[in-house]
């Protein structure tokens, strides 16, 4: 590798000699995982604090312990804690330290997976959009500007984790080095730098890597001297044999056992039968393996935090629900899979150990809808415009997520013409003089428009449907990255309205919803929900097509009639006794009611099948 000047963060990350580190709680010897020197089996489950309302953390952790697990593991999404450069927050929903202490209250050990990249079907794989949008940035490499940014983030995060280690009286017993790096790249210097950045900032507990069970992934994702763990959903005997052939002295650890799977919009809801998942878990345990269930409890991609995948041909946005067919359902109910897995985790004790009752739900009812501001009228006036000769991307506009309304006034000769958008990421509704004329996406970025020989108001409402979280397209930009053409001629003179709807305050949302009189078939609508005693519920929006839903100013997430998900989980803590306001921003077709249902509707199902790519 070419030698280059060492960045300041790399100097900060220079590790102390390994002999200076206190003995970690978890060690290993002769194929055996040890805890304080005694044989130990790590029985963990993934539960992401950032996908659960903080008032429900304790409840979900109690259920995880009741499942028969002794450990909880969680990622830490950088972009969730530092939405804008330098503004790092660890309060409220971001209070990682409180979550870890609550786990300790349940008698659970904790594994922390700090990234800086986490995948997790989370927007941008947890990397901040302001970082990935920096010109010339080289992600997940030893590129000095990237290391410098990671070093500053780790300066904020890692001392907090270090203070919660078991050696300091806390529950943290292990920390992951990066995340499935062998699926992405082979910059060994970067992987070593990340390990050293953790130890330099106080991590003394067990360090490990986690990768898929293939030679390709393990070649690039592991580090000599650090425990190598695997991620998979089936064939544990083959995975164990591969690992033991490469690391004969190390214990078999499955860092992610995929007992369920996530969903994309427009596809089916993935399920994994309880009996099959339980049988694979049994085989992992029979192979003397330690294991972490991914997910034990999935939770929800509230707001616009759901990521997206790309299969080489098309974008695959992830749905709002992260239920993942987990043993603990999105709203905390225990499932048949919970009981099937619990029998193997607890053995005979499963018959006597109590299981918490399912959380209460509001009775079903129907809420009439009142239409509010029309779509374009509201969006044109809700934000100050930005002007440029050519369309600007979300990154150019300093916006991570949401919508941008692009407006120009081209002269259109009489007749029909092809309107083409190059570099569209991800979806655009096209309007001509206020009339919808087409919907474009990354794969179908052209439509026919009709001119009259006069100038027309051309508007494109572009939606970021989730930043790619896995694979070589990680970090791609959003918005219009190229230009807009009528036939071969570029359209110039653009006005852009920034619409970061996930950062709107309740006051800003209310203002947007009331700016214009009711008109048209799309726009804002409201409904009112009165409750005596708040409880969980699920919102269904029959007749609505695609949009976003808030409760009392809190953005629950996206909805889309193409499914598979047709309900939005509304957790109890977001409701208050008395009147509550549901606000909808509908992009295509307003319905006339909102239904409260007594359970989720996650769509038609198909069985999850494991692949490695």
Residue 450 belongs to domain with CATH number: 2.60.120.260
171 located within any domain? yes
Confidence of residue 383 (pLDDT cuts 50, 70, 90): confident
Q: Are residues 470 and 542 in the same domain?
A: no
Neighbouring residues of 330: CB distance < 8 A, sequence distance ≥ 6 = 298, 299, 300, 321, 322, 323, 569, 600
* CA distance linking residue 354 with residue 509, whole number of Å: 44
User: Helices (DSSP H) in 375-499: which residue ranges?
Assistant: 375-381
Answer for the pair 457, 407: CB distance below 8 angstroms, yes or no: yes
256 is catalytic: yes
233 located within any domain? yes
Q: Are residues 164 and 41 in the same domain?
A: yes
609 located within any domain? no
Residue 20 belongs to domain with CATH number: 3.20.20.80
What's the pLDDT tens digit per position in 474-496?
999 999 999 999 999 999 999 99
What's the pLDDT tens digit per position in 499-538?
999 999 999 999 888 876 666 789 999 999 999 999 999 9
Q: Are residues 332 and 399 in the same domain?
A: no
Q: Are residues 451 and 535 in the same domain?
A: no
Confidence of residue 608 (pLDDT cuts 50, 70, 90): confident
Confidence of residue 1 (pLDDT cuts 50, 70, 90): very low
Q: Are residues 291 and 392 in the same domain?
A: no
Give the containing element (helix H, strand E) for 501: none
Q: What pLDDT does 606 receive? A: 83
**What percentage of residues in the chain have a pLDDT greater than 90?**
91
Mean pLDDT for 397-409 is 98
Q: Are residues 459 and 524 in the same domain?
A: no
Q: Are residues 413 and 519 in the same domain?
A: no
Crossing angle of helices 236-246/274-286, nearest 10°?
30
Answer for the pair 514, 453: CB distance below 8 angstroms, yes or no: no
35 located within any domain? yes
Q: What pLDDT does 519 receive? A: 63
Confidence of residue 346 (pLDDT cuts 50, 70, 90): very high
Q: Are residues 193 and 281 in the same domain?
A: yes
- Residue 135 CB coordination number (10 Å): 5
Q: Are residues 389 and 325 in the same domain?
A: no
What's the pLDDT tens digit per position in 237-263?
999 999 999 999 999 999 999 999 999
**What percentage of residues in the chain have a pLDDT greater than 70?**
95
* CA distance linking residue 295 with residue 309, whole number of Å: 18
404 located within any domain? yes
Q: Is beta strand 38-39 parallel, antiparallel or unpaired with respect to 32-35?
A: antiparallel
Catalytic residue among 256, 395, 459, 586: 256
Q: Is the pLDDT of residue 612 over 60?
A: no
Give the domain extent around 173: 8-301+314-347
Which of 501, 526, 552 corresponds to the end of one domain?
Answer: 501
Q: What pLDDT does 231 receive? A: 98
Q: Measured in whole angstroms, how far is the alpha carbon of residue 85 from the centre of its chain? A: 20
Q: Which long-range contacts (CB under 8 A, 24 or more apart) does 30-38 make?
A: 30/249, 31/244, 31/248, 31/249, 31/250, 31/251, 31/252, 31/288, 32/251, 33/251, 33/253, 33/290, 35/173
- Residue 225 CB coordination number (10 Å): 8
Confidence of residue 4 (pLDDT cuts 50, 70, 90): very low
For 163-173, letters b (16+ CB in 10 Å) and e give ebbbbeebbbb
Average pLDDT of every residue of the chain: 94
Q: Is the pLDDT of residue 414 over 70?
A: yes
Q: Are residues 546 and 408 in the same domain?
A: no
On the CB side of 552, CA atoms within 13 Å amount to 13
- Angle, vertex CA 270, rays to CA 267 and CA 276, nearest 5: 155
* CA distance linking residue 583 with residue 179, whole number of Å: 37
Q: What pLDDT does 429 receive? A: 98
Q: What pLDDT does 610 receive? A: 72
Q: Is the pLDDT of residue 5 over 50?
A: no
Q: pTM score, two decimals?
A: 0.95
169 located within any domain? yes
> Which has more pLDDT, 9 or 598?
598
Q: Are residues 402 and 262 in the same domain?
A: no
Q: What pLDDT does 54 receive? A: 98
- Per the structure, the count of domains in the chain is 3
604 located within any domain? no
Among residues 396, 575, 587, 568, which one has the least CA distance to residue 480? 396
508 located within any domain? no
Confidence of residue 22 (pLDDT cuts 50, 70, 90): confident
User: Helices (DSSP H) in 467-581: which residue ranges?
Assistant: 506-513
Confidence of residue 591 (pLDDT cuts 50, 70, 90): very high
Which of 501, 526, 550 corresponds to the end of one domain?
Answer: 501
Q: Are residues 479 and 444 in the same domain?
A: yes
Q: What pLDDT does 453 receive? A: 93
Catalytic residue among 121, 178, 180, 205: 180
Quote the tokens at residue 193: 């730098």
* CA distance linking residue 35 with residue 71, whole number of Å: 13
């Amino acid at each position: 590798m070419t030698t280059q000047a060492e960045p300041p963060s790399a100097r900060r990350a220079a590790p102390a000699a390994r002999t200076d580190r206190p003995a970690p709680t978890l060690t290993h010897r002769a194929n055996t995982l040890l805890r304080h020197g005694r044989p130990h089996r790590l029985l963990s489950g993934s539960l992401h604090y950032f996908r659960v309302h903080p008032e429900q953390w304790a409840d979900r952790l109690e259920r995880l312990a009741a499942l028969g697990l002794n450990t909880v593991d969680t990622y830490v999404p950088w972009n969730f804690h530092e939405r804008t450069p330098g503004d790092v927050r660890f309060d409220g929903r971001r209070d990682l330290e409180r979550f870890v202490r609550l786990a300790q209250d349940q008698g659970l050990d904790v594994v922390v997976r700090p990234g800086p990249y986490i995948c997790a079907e989370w927007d941008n794989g947890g990397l901040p959009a302001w970082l990935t949008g920096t010109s010339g940035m080289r992600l997940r490499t030893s590129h000095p500007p990237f290391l410098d940014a990671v070093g500053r983030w780790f300066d904020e995060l890692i001392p907090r984790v270090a203070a919660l280690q078991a050696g300091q009286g806390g529950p943290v017993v292990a920390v992951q080095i990066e995340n499935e790096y062998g699926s992405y790249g082979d910059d060994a210097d970067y992987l070593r730098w990340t390990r050293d950045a953790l130890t330099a900032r106080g991590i003394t507990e067990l360090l490990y890597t986690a990768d898929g069970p293939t030679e390709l992934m393990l070649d690039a994702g592991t580090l000599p001297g650090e425990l190598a763990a695997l991620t998979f959903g089936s064939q544990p005997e083959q995975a164990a044999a591969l690992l033991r052939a490469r690391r004969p002295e190390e214990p078999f650890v499955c860092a992610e056992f995929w007992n369920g799977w996530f969903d994309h919009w427009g596809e089916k809801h993935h399920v994994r039968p309880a009996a099959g998942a339980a049988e694979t878990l049994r085989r992992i345990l029979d192979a003397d393996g330690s294991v972490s269930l991914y997910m034990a409890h999935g939770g929800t991609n509230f707001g616009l935090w759901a990521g997206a995948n790309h299969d080489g041909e098309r974008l695959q946005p992830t749905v709002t629900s992260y239920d993942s067919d987990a043993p603990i359902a999105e709203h905390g109910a225990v499932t048949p899979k919970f009981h099937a897995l619990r029998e193997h985790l607890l053995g005979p004790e499963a018959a006597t150990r109590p299981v918490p009752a399912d959380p209460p739900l509001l009775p079903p009812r129907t809420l009439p809808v009142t239409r509010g501001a029309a779509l374009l009228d509201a969006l044109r006036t809700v934000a100050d415009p930005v002007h440029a000769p050519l369309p600007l991307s979300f990154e150019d506009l300093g916006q991570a997520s949401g919508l941008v309304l692009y407006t120009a006034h081209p002269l259109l000769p009489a007749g029909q013409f092809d309107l083409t958008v190059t570099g569209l990421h991800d979806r655009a509704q096209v309007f001509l003089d206020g009339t919808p004329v087409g919907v474009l996406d990354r794969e179908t970025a052209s439509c026919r428009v009709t001119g009259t020989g006069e100038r027309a108001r051309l508007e494109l409402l572009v939606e970021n449907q989730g930043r790619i979280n896995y694979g070589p397209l990680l970090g791609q930009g959003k918005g219009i990255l190229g230009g807009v053409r009528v036939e071969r001629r570029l359209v110039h003179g653009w006005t852009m309205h920034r619409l970061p709807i996930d950062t709107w305050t309740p006051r800003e949302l209310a203002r947007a919803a009331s700016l214009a009189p009711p008109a048209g078939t799309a726009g804002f609508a409201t409904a009112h929900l009165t409750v005596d005693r708040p409880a969980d519920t699920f919102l269904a929006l029959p007749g609505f097509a695609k949009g976003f839903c808030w409760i009392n100013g809190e953005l629950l997430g996206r909805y889309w009639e193409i499914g598979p998900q047709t309900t939005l989980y509304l957790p109890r803590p977001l409701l208050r006794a008395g009147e509550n306001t549901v606000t909808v921003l509908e992009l295509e077709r307003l319905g006339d009611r909102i239904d409260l249902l007594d359970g989720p509707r996650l769509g038609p199902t198909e069985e999850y099948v494991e692949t490695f790519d």
